Amino acid sequence: MKKIVIASIATLALATVSMAEVNGKACASCHGADWSKAALGKSKIVSELPHAEIAEALKGYKAGTFGGPMKGLMKGQVAKYSDAELEAFAQTIGK
């Protein structure tokens, strides 16, 4: 019985971590599936940015310390993620 409870808790913890990962699909409508669009004609093209710059921007949007005209919109998109999740996500896009 103890093993079943421990296994269930571990499974739940892994599922929670997986659900918390950044949803890149939500970004595609503005930035394009391959990150090649200037979102709403106002952003930089994300695919051309280095990973570190993307991470800095995402964390800055979350903190409210970065961004121009889309600052408020982007804060709402990234606020639910941890800095570590945003950092890991940034490593999957850009160059």
Domain segments of the chain as ranges: 23-90
3-state secondary structure of 50: coil
**Distances 86 to 2, 8, 26, 53, 57 between C-alpha atoms, Å:** 36, 28, 14, 12, 10
d(CA 22, CA 18): 9
Q: Is the pLDDT of residue 66 over 90?
A: yes
What would the pLDDT profile of 35-54 be if each residue is shown by its tens digit? 999 999 999 999 999 999 99
Q: Is the pLDDT of residue 3 over 70?
A: no
Angle at 69 between CA 82 and CA 38, to 5 degrees: 80
H helices of 21-68, in order, are 28-31, 51-63
Topology at the third CATH level for domain 23-90: Cytochrome Bc1 Complex; Chain D, domain 2 (1.10.760)
